[in-house]
Structure 1
Amino acid sequence: MKKSTIVHLRFPFSFFLLPVFLFAAACLPETDWLKLALIFVLLHFFLYPASNGYNSYYDKDEGSIGGVKVPPKVTKELYYVSWVMDVIAIVIGLVLSWQFAAMMLVYGLVSKAYSHPSIRLKKRPIIGWLTAGVFQGYFTFMMVCVGMGYQSLLFSPMLQWAGLLSTLLLFGSYPMTQVYQHEEDARRGDITLSLILGVLDTFHFTAVCFSISMALFYWFFTTYFSFTMALLFLVSLSPVLIYFGYWYLQVRRSQEQANFENTMRLNLVSSACLNAFFTWLLLY
């Protein structure tokens, strides 16, 4: 396999998508660790990288992309490898249930519709934003629950709220992942939500979504867990708030600070904090 193909699969980027998986696992009444490990591998080492690779193949980015500062040129191998990884994930997913495999199939098809030039949801700002938030959030949350065998609990108020909160977090964070790509997106004709908002209003939009989601997460944890858990959640995300505020002040002085390095740093801080808290919640 070519080095460029491995780079564009962006395996490390799965770390940024890990919080939804951990949150779903932590909200379930019991944990089958073998099933959970298999779901983890299928999502983070097959389904997500396949989506990354397929996206990269059609984007053919020349500038920085999520997790890769200087992307190499793509080859046809990347296209085929992305499809093969999708198929492997779906076939192995049948070991857990046909419903789980079907959900992975849907996720894979939607991710392809997001990138493929004949549909390319990515160039439709609102639909693209909704698609990314819903499928990387709520849909993935429910997919983990189905893979773990809890189909009967899917429509319980607790899991429905948790799935919706997963999406709300992504609604706020997703435009921030696009804030440094305005020039490249505009050149390619991809009118993203962040491009429409502009640099500063992308920060403002994320701040509003983040504030709403934090208030709802506080309510969720006090309702279904405890006041202590809610407080610990807010404390665990304080580094994200501090860095976001610091970066925002930098960008107000110079919009050149809305760059790849600072965006990836925010992603890393927020993902690390969420992953740490949800891992602790899972093991608690």
Structure 2
Amino acid sequence: MTKSTFLHLRFPFSFFLLPVFLFGVAVAQPEGWIRVSLVFFILHFLLYPASNGYNSYFDQDEGSIGGLEHPPEATKNLYHWSLVLDLLALGLGLLIDWKFSLMLLVYGLASKAYSHPSVRLKKRPIIGWLAVGFFQGYFTLLMTVYGISSNSFNIFDWQWQLPALLSTLLLLGSYPMTQIYQHREDEKRGDFTLSLKLGILSTFYFTGAFFFVSTLGFIYYFKETYSIQIGLLFIILMTPVVGYFFYWFLKVRRDTSMADFRHTMRLNLVSALMLNLFFLIFALNL
């Protein structure tokens, strides 16, 4: 594995996708931690990096991408390693069962469709946005719950469906913000992302509206299913995220060049830190 390939796999970027996994652990409350550790490793050290590498290879970005401000050249070595990690994920997934491995395969194929030139969902602003929100939110939460649960259960039960839908709602709001600094390169390549269609300021309005609605949904869910105290803790821990969001928004209103890579990554980091902290507390204190 070359240094360029290792960087493009973006293992640290999996931290930003960790909240959905932790939410799944919190609602499933598994009895044993061996399956939890296995599913965590498969998702965050194999499946997600494989998706990162595969998409980087076909994107051939010259500017900043998520987790890499100055990405090196994406070579054929990256393409091969992304497939190797995919195969390892599918193989280890069979240790859970074939259904879990099939879920991994479906996720992998969906992520490849986002950037592969024969499909390239990235060129379709609405479909691409919905696909990312669905698979990184709804699908991943159900996949996590299924993988870590030692007992059989009905995956279509509202007990699992509501958290899955809330995860997608949160992703649908936050994902356009991750595209906000790539408008110039996306436009040059013909990738008409949702953020590019909305424009810089409208992307902030869009994300703010979705975050508000999803927060109401989470509070309702915690109040009705667990306790109002958990809902209040969610509000408290989301306060730094809201604070940084408005701080950055005011800077962008004065100068749209502030909608750049570094501010985007800071918002992602603050958001991931607070969400991971919340779901970790939620998982350990029920």
Bin of the TM-score, shorter chain as denominator length: over 0.9
Is the contact made by 2:138 and 2:165 (CA closer than 8 Å) also made in structure 1? yes
Matches of 1:31 and 1:270 in 2, distance apart? 29
The percentage of aligned residue pairs carrying the same residue is: 57
Q: What are the equivalent positions in structure 2 for 1:204-219 lying under 5 Å apart?
A: 204-219=205-220
Q: Give 2:119's aligned amino acid.
A: I
Matches of 2:33 and 2:98 in 1, distance apart? 20
Displacement after TM superposition at 1:97 (Å): 1.1
State the partner residue of 2:248: 247
Task: Please tell me whether residue 116 in structure 1 is matched to residue 116 in structure 2.
Answer: yes
Displacement after TM superposition at 1:74 (Å): 1.0
**What does the per-residue CA deviation read over 1:117-155, in whole Å, with 9 as the maximum and x for residues that have no partner?**
011011100000000000000000000111123551422
Matches of 1:50 and 1:30 in 2, distance apart? 27
SS in structure 2 at match of 1:178: helix
Matches of 1:151 and 1:185 in 2, distance apart? 44
Matches of 1:274 and 1:122 in 2, distance apart? 26
**What does the per-residue CA deviation read over 1:182-234, in whole Å, with 9 as the maximum and x for residues that have no partner?**
00000111000000000000000000000000001000000111011110111
**What does the per-residue CA deviation read over 1:63-83, in whole Å, with 9 as the maximum and x for residues that have no partner?**
000000000001100001000
SS in structure 1 at match of 2:191: coil
Structure 1 length-normalised TM: 0.99
Q: What are the equivalent positions in structure 2 for 1:255-266 lying under 5 Å apart?
A: 255-266=256-267
**What does the per-residue CA deviation read over 1:235-254, in whole Å, with 9 as the maximum and x for residues that have no partner?**
11100000001000000000
Q: Give 1:55's aligned amino acid.
A: N
Is the contact made by 1:25 and 1:31 (CA closer than 8 Å) also made in structure 2? no
Matches of 1:36 and 1:101 in 2, distance apart? 15
Is the contact made by 2:30 and 2:148 (CA closer than 8 Å) also made in structure 1? no
RMSD of Structure 2 on Structure 1 (CA): 0.8
Structure 2 length-normalised TM: 0.98
State the partner residue of 1:43: 43
Matches of 2:122 and 2:29 in 1, distance apart? 37
**What does the per-residue CA deviation read over 1:43-101, in whole Å, with 9 as the maximum and x for residues that have no partner?**
00000000000000000000000000000001100001000100000011100111110
Structure 1 alignment gaps of length 5 or more = none
Q: What are the equivalent positions in structure 2 for 1:70-85 lying under 5 Å apart?
A: 70-85=70-85
State the partner residue of 1:193: 194
Q: What are the equivalent positions in structure 2 for 1:1-284 lying under 5 Å apart?
A: 1-149=1-149, 151-284=152-285
Is the contact made by 1:168 and 1:209 (CA closer than 8 Å) also made in structure 2? yes
Matches of 2:148 and 2:280 in 1, distance apart? 17
Q: Give 1:204's aligned amino acid.
A: Y
List structure 1 segments (4+ residues) > 3 angstroms apart after TM superposition.
none
SS in structure 1 at match of 2:153: helix
Matches of 2:188 and 2:169 in 1, distance apart? 29
Displacement after TM superposition at 1:32 (Å): 1.9
Matches of 1:222 and 1:124 in 2, distance apart? 37
Matches of 1:11 and 1:146 in 2, distance apart? 24
**What does the per-residue CA deviation read over 1:141-170, in whole Å, with 9 as the maximum and x for residues that have no partner?**
000111123551422212110000000000
Q: Give 1:54's aligned amino acid.
A: Y
Displacement after TM superposition at 1:29 (Å): 3.8
Matches of 1:126 and 1:227 in 2, distance apart? 35
